Structure 1
Amino acid sequence: MDTLQQKLQKLTRNLWWTWRPEVRAIFRDLDLDIYHKAHRNPVRVLKEITPALLEKRADEVDIATRTDRALRQLNEYLNPLTTWGMIHAGSLQSRPVAYFCAEFGIHESLPIYSGGLGILAGDHLKGASNLGVPLVGVGLMYHRGYTTQLLDASFWQQDVSEPFELDDLPVYPAIGADGKPARVSVELPGRLVWAKVLECHVGRIRLILLDTRDDANSEEDKALAANLYGGDNRMRIQQELLLGVGGSRALRALGITPSVIHLNEGHSAFAILEWARHRVQQDGMEPWAAIAEAASGTVFTTHTPVEAGHDKFPADLAEEHLRALAEGLRLPLHDVLGLGRTNPGDLGSAFLPTVLALKHCRRANGVSALHGKVARSMWQHLWPTRSEHDVPIGHITNGVHVPSWLSSELNTLMTTHLGVNWMEGIVRPDLWTKIAAIDPAEIWEIKKVLKGRMLKLVRERQTAMRARQGLPPLDPAPLDPDALTIGFARRFVPYKRPDLLFTDLDRLDALVNNPQRPVNLIFAGRAHPADGPGKALIQKVGQLTADPRFRNRILFVENYNIHIGRNLYQGVDAWLNNPQRPLEACGTSGMKVVMNGGLHISVLDGWWAEAYDGENGFAIGNGEIHASSEVQDKRDADALFRLLEEKVVPMYYRQDANGVPRPWIHAIQRSMRTLAWRFNADRMVMDYVRNCYLPAAVAASCQMPNP
């Protein structure tokens, strides 16, 4: 019989625990200090707790019984009698979807993500797991992670690399068909680069990760996949070849033959060429027929309407790196390079993986209705004979994995009012009508608890940052718990305009320091390590927090990650999103706030353009765009101030005799009732299955080589 330690170790081996608060609580209750010092990582908790303390805590908080219950629930989850996927995606059971992405945000203890793309990919895997959709994730193991953000005394972002040990993660060598740990090689200029194939389990989903720390590699190549989005163009194209080509070979080494490959952004587009190359080499297919087959089985999601967000590799760099693939395809190199060029005949032009993916896929989509429209306009030149309306790029609006982001308090509330199995019916609009019957006072009490917990965390982070900077703690403590608290957290780049409210500091002063109706503003976010303008925006916000007028009303929370985000989404009263329209492809953070009883304040961009109904949140402006971005910024800044001054703040402070802001809570109820059923990962994955995966799987199976 397994010991308690062995049973706990079994629980850690599947990242199912990341969305099961009752399982995380087992490890938290073993020792709270160890839990937080281990970054809420159960694997490290078990490594660091002593046998004596484990035995003591097991008796005090009933660890053994709770662990047995969790293992039983995990086993039932992994071996269901039926799932949505068994019924609706049965044709994918024998040949699953291969979901390629450069980053995956599953949990803060697995730091192979940088921001929204990775967190969306993590939610996609979790959604597919819950639905039982046959899918396997493919990515890279960045053994130095992304970076840790530290702000110096001038509030300039410092990027610190903090390597982690595989032994601290539920990641293990993947075993190939020969019974040995799998490894694959990829041809790069002048050498082969080898990668170990690792895997971890995200509920019912396998996530395959390539690690270049192979003994056959040079020290330089061992570091090839050390950092996410690190290095120059040469390192970037080599990482992308490793992901697309190496990832495809890893699947074959594990005996996995996908019916569909889903490319989540262009970083993995080389998987298309590897599919075709394999068919040419192994099955004797004619090259163009093999490329057509690969295209028919490919689904492509583009995530950014910002041109700078799409990789462009100079012609000479692309020639150097695609030569081996061209030889494997038995095609002239210029023909292969033309697959990724806007104008195939322009031999000196750059190679764009996004172009390769868009022109060679069965289905392409943006991540919101507005983004789909923007993408069709942005890429129309690839189909010059078609009208913008007929450009073959659709949309599937993103959604979030609710169990990963929902507070346990609100989960309990939903279970009470919506039913024990409410999450199984999360996509049903009728289920959410029950929200209207909940007493506003009940929601208000929960929001006060969540806000208090969030404020405790951000104050602790602020104190730690100031101590490192050589500054004393703020006195009095910043952020009044009774004040309207608005959050803003995302990647810091100019088009997201984190400083929009700073265009009129006197007006901002009057807004946040109104003695009867004060406002707190909490900022968090990172800039890419090479993004000077983004770092300057962080510094601008940070320095404003040192201004005596704003010292106790505005805070910047350092080192934004999944843990910080989860607490902000749960605790804020409202969420601010004010990008330059239409440059926000989707923006899922606001969805997480809605699920946790907060209201969204946003420009009509991304998902909010299709979600806002006039009463389920707040819109900045009316969606019109001025030809001058400078004029638009001034217009939007004024609209935001007026919205806060005339609508948002008055509604929040319109409280009854018991201190309950009933109009505010009614807006929350409408927000959840109209939005929660739509903007979740279950609906998103269902849309991909119906509109993309099944059509692509059928199309690929019908492709035949030319006679």
Structure 2
Amino acid sequence: MSNGGVAYFSAEFGLDESLPIYSGGLGILAGDHIKAAADMNVPLTGVGIFYGNGYFQQRIDEGGSQQHLYPTINPEVSSYPVRLVRDAEGRPLVVDVMIGGRQVYAKAWSVQVGSVTLYLLNADVESNSDADRRLTDTLYPSEQDVRISQEMILGIGGARLLAALGIRPDVWHMNEGHPAFLTLERIRMLSAEGVPFETAREAVKASTVFTTHTPVPAGHDVFSIDMVDRYFGDYYWQLGTDREQVLSLGRAGDAFNMTRLAVSMSSKVNGVSKLHGEVTRELFHRWMPHIPRQDIPVESVTNGIHIGTWLSAGMKELFDRHLPSDWAVRTAEPNVWAAVRDIPHFELWEAHQRAKSEMVRELGLPIASSGGGPLIVGFARRFATYKRALLIFRDLERLAHILGDPQRPVCLVFAGKAHPADDPGQELIRRLVELSREDRFKGSVHIIENYAMDKAKKLVQGVDVWLNTPVKPMEASGTSGQKAAINGVLNCSVLDGWWAEGYNGRNGWAIEGATDGDLEYQSQQDSEALYRLLEEEIIPLFYMRDDRAVPTEWVNLMKESICSIAPVFNTHRMVSDYWHKLYVPTSIRGNRFAADNFEVASRVAAYKKFIRDNWSGVSVRKADILADRSSRIGLNKTAFRAEIGLGAIWHKDVRVEAVGSDGRRGIWKAKLEPVQQLAKGLYVYEGASPDVSINIWKSNVNVRVTPISPDFTTDFEMELAAWGITE
């Protein structure tokens, strides 16, 4: 990779609680990503927004209602060294973005994280109108007009800022769809240099990576076409094409979808866990219904955490004594963590008890901690309904019995915010407050106000069990459980997100309720499974002590949890995966497409245009499973024969294959080769099944034609396929 490195764009960055420009998991992940890049000397530059008021501070009133406070963030007094970015003459560097027919200006601040610089744009500039100065005040505003304006400042302004600074990235990484307008700005820049739209589009696509974190359609930013016209209308002609071409890049149904734009303009797309990769393919299948979900080109890089940020001081001191001296820079090596098994049980338990006592003290919890008790279960995350904060309260009488046992007391600690526009999420908080005040739960159910990074650290370091109860598969990855695990806290979670990969049967507990049925049935089954785990496994194990009052078997689980989770679910491994799987291939591809005055990009653009213009002439005229199980190509295997009309397209520019279901949610493919030309553009293709054991059913088999090129990243880059039905 050349000196340009990676430009990493995100709407939020969680570096530290003193810089509250994050709301939750996406921002914390982005902060951990750039910290790990700095640790590993990965050439990366971050781009985001400096929010004048940040994400709201939460107060819960007497009635249990969430109040939203927006104190001004002063970059001059942040404990993070935030500096105003200046030009060569020492003046504040200002970029401008045309938004809805008016010029909006933004200045930039910079934060240094080791070798990585994070640039943050802010519209509070004197030359802006009063309304425009407020555009970057709050993170994730509810007003669509402000939201699209912010995303234009982030994507377009961010790209212009890097250009003004002379930074020419090899790879542009979009963390979620919020910054996706950067792809259009990069096309505009190339268009201004005389590069045709289609060529510019291929050059931009070749050097762009997109990470999606949201497994539900409602989680993706969608703007009406009218709104895009209103705000983006001034840009259409500047991209060297017409309005319809620009809109087609992000059009999904009758709206403009930022995730669709990001997918259209990226050569690599990834989800944030293996399961999320599958869910994302299912989600994107709506946009590409003619491509089986198994073939939708989405990779997965499972999220991790920055261990140096989330590890308690006591645990770090313990690891410093027992692990290899350079363990902190070798966190992705399993053998480094093997030494945890040799830490005396008493020492590991004592370190956890100190973290637990500190949490109780620092968070002001009215919990008398003695002899390692009570068992504290933590639940801290965004209060979105699918995360099911109240699942554990489904049977109030049973829960009261579990928590209220004087011999084996249990406490629940909750923390989290609901988005100001999320009324159902706020109702969850109100109901939780109401429950905590009932006599049977007083002293056992506690709520921490204003959840942020400082409080998150204390919770993941100090509770005994980390509870996670989302509706599967709606948790894309989740990382809070990973933060808990490195501190010896045991996970009890639905097998969703990262836990589906991390759970090994010996390092925590899986809530294995229902995987299908309606939401009510799933909740009933999941809550029953959770109660059973608490009653029969978790609580008895926690209170089973040796002669030194140490729960030996519990500590064995803590050791297994650390050894199995720490080396895999950390950001050093994660960034290494991004580097090898996404950044390096994309850098090579992007530079190749841009070389020699965009020779490859131009060729690919012309090829795709030719294919698109002539694809209507491609058809599967006839497709048969050969009854005698023989053909010129294969004997004793199921054979296929198809007549394929290609029109003006050359037969070497397509792949023809029989495709069928394997009966296990997967598909098999059998490549067919041309064996005869019947007429101009009309061919006979034959081939055999890849496996004699496959049970071929006509209803399961089809023949597909797709355009291919050695310059494509995947065989489905053009999102085109022609199908026929076997007879």
Deviations 1:343-397 (A, max 9, x none): 5xxxxx1000100111220110110000000000111133333221110111100
Quote the residue 2:229 is aligned against: 319
Quote the residue 2:208 is aligned against: 298
Q: Provide the alpha-carbon RMSD of the alignment.
A: 1.4
Aligned mates of 1:517, 1:599 — CA distance in 2? 18
Is 1:187–2:187 an aligned residue pair?
no
Give 1 or 2: higher helix fraction: 1
Deviations 1:129-183 (A, max 9, x none): 0000000000011011111100000111000111121211221121335553211
Deviations 1:487-515 (A, max 9, x none): 00000011100000111111001101112
Quote the residue 1:32 is aligned against: none
Aligned mates of 1:337, 1:360 — CA distance in 2? 12
Shift of 1:231: 3.7
Conserved 8 A contact 1:479-1:520: no
Aligned mates of 2:502, 2:142 — CA distance in 1? 38
Aligned mates of 2:206, 2:5 — CA distance in 1? 15
Give the residue type in structure 2 aligned to 1:152: D
Q: Spell out the pairing of 1:244-263 with structure 2 (5 A cutoff).
A: 244-263=155-174
Provide the TM-score with structure 1 as the length reference: 0.83
Conserved 8 A contact 1:478-1:551: no
Aligned mates of 1:495, 1:165 — CA distance in 2? 35
2:460 aligns with one of 565, 569, 578? 569
Quote the residue 1:209 is aligned against: 120
Quote the residue 2:55 is aligned against: 146
Aligned mates of 1:334, 1:284 — CA distance in 2? 20
Give the percent of matched residue pairs that are identical in Structure 1 and Structure 2: 42
Is 1:104–2:13 an aligned residue pair?
yes
Quote the residue 1:365 is aligned against: 270
Quote the residue 2:219 is aligned against: 309
Conserved 8 A contact 2:357-2:369: no
Conserved 8 A contact 1:319-1:337: no
Conserved 8 A contact 2:96-2:105: yes
Deviations 1:235-280 (A, max 9, x none): 1111101100000000111111111110000000001111111011
Instruction: Tell me the SS of whatever aligns to 1:649.
Output: helix
Is 1:706–2:602 an aligned residue pair?
yes
Deviations 1:65-93 (A, max 9, x none): xxxxxxxxxxxxxxxxxxxxxxxxxx24x
Conserved 8 A contact 1:263-1:269: yes
Unpaired runs of at least 5, structure 1: 1-90, 344-348, 461-473
Aligned pair in 2 of structure 1 residues 479, 532: CA closer, same or farther (>3 Å)? farther
Give the residue type in structure 2 aligned to 1:412: E
Quote the residue 2:609 is aligned against: none
Instruction: Tell me the SS of whatever aligns to 1:268.
Output: coil
Quote the residue 1:334 is aligned against: 244
Aligned mates of 1:555, 1:457 — CA distance in 2? 14
Quote the residue 1:286 is aligned against: 196
Shift of 1:328: 1.3
Instruction: Tell me the SS of whatever aligns to 1:549.
Output: helix
Conserved 8 A contact 1:176-1:255: no
Quote the residue 2:646 is aligned against: none
Quote the residue 2:398 is aligned against: 507
Give 1 or 2: higher strand fraction: 2
Aligned mates of 1:572, 1:225 — CA distance in 2? 36
Instruction: Tell me the SS of whatever aligns to 1:351.
Output: strand
Larger CA deviation: 451-460 vs 114-123: 451-460
Deviations 1:310-355 (A, max 9, x none): 0110110011122222121021112101100135xxxxx1000100
Give the residue type in structure 1 aligned to 2:602: N
Q: Spell out the pairing of 1:453-472 with structure 2 (5 A cutoff).
A: 453-459=358-364
Shift of 1:701: 0.7
Is 1:269–2:180 an aligned residue pair?
yes
Instruction: Tell me the SS of whatever aligns to 2:173.
Output: strand
Quote the residue 1:545 is aligned against: 436
Aligned mates of 2:317, 2:368 — CA distance in 1? 31
Instruction: Tell me the SS of whatever aligns to 2:439.
Output: coil
Quote the residue 2:682 is aligned against: none
Q: Spell out the pairing of 1:85-104 with structure 2 (5 A cutoff).
A: 91-92=1-2, 94-104=3-13
Deviations 1:393-414 (A, max 9, x none): 1110000000001011111111
Aligned mates of 1:600, 1:430 — CA distance in 2? 22
Q: Spell out the pairing of 1:605-684 with structure 2 (5 A cutoff).
A: 605-621=496-512, 624-684=514-574
Aligned mates of 2:260, 2:602 — CA distance in 1? 25
Unpaired runs of at least 5, structure 2: 604-727
Provide the TM-score with structure 2 as the length reference: 0.80
Aligned mates of 1:531, 1:382 — CA distance in 2? 27
Give the residue type in structure 1 aligned to 2:293: E
Instruction: Tell me the SS of whatever aligns to 1:381.
Output: coil
1:590 aligns with one of 481, 484, 491? 481
Shift of 1:480: 9.4
Larger CA deviation: 302-311 vs 165-174: 165-174
Conserved 8 A contact 1:595-1:676: yes
Deviations 1:168-221 (A, max 9, x none): 122112133555321100011121000002111011110001111111100000
1:133 aligns with one of 42, 66, 70? 42
Quote the residue 2:681 is aligned against: none
Conserved 8 A contact 2:11-2:49: yes
Q: Spell out the pairing of 1:341-490 with structure 2 (5 A cutoff).
A: 341-342=251-252, 349-459=254-364, 482-490=373-381
Shift of 1:431: 1.1
Deviations 1:93-120 (A, max 9, x none): x102000000000000001111111011
Instruction: Tell me the SS of whatever aligns to 2:467.
Output: strand
Is 1:123–2:14 an aligned residue pair?
no
Q: Larger RCO: Structure 1 or Structure 2 (Cα < 8 Å, ≥ 6 residues apart)?
A: 1
Aligned mates of 1:479, 1:634 — CA distance in 2? 34
Aligned mates of 1:546, 1:477 — CA distance in 2? 18
Instruction: Tell me the SS of whatever aligns to 1:117.
Output: helix
Instruction: Tell me the SS of whatever aligns to 2:178.
Output: helix
Which has the higher Rg, Structure 1 or Structure 2? Answer: 2
